[in-house]
Amino acid sequence: MIEDFKKFAFKGNVIDLAVGVIIGGAFGKIVTSLVNDIIMPFIGVLLGGINFSTLQWIITPASEGHAELALKYGAFLQAIVDFFIIATSIFVFVKIITKVVRKKDDEPKAKTDEAKLLEEIRDLLRDKN
């Protein structure tokens, strides 16, 4: 069982996935900071000084022994902007990778001796018929 786990855990794909998750988490934090600290304040200034992080709709105000119940739609708007930036970044990255891979696939590959032999057999059979 330990050998099977080693084979699984140390395959290239699992390591690549782990690295991707770690980098993705760090990228998400960077995008969140970009949105919360730079983009949304700038948009808020353009819209007349709105602070998106404090936008909320209070359902029940705070009272003795009970906390305030509110829908924080400003934070939700910031999360939507986060999502669109991350989704756009991933889309552009995948498009670039797809073009690079497609160019490699389009390059002519050298024929092996086996392929040449099979082509000769095919041609001889075609000529025979």
pLDDT confidence tier of residue 12, bands split at 50, 70 and 90: low
Mean of per-residue pLDDT scores for the chain:
87
pLDDT in tens, 60-71: 999 988 899 999
The answer to pTM > 0.95 is: no
Sort residue 108 into left (φ over 0), alpha (ψ -120 to 50) or beta: beta
Domains of the chain, earliest start first: 2-128 (1.10.1200.120)
Q: Contact at 8 Å (CB) between 61 and 111?
A: no
pLDDT in tens, 94-108: 899 888 877 776 666
Helix 73-106 × helix 12-34 angle, to 10°:
140
DSSP 92-104: HHHHHHHHHHHHH
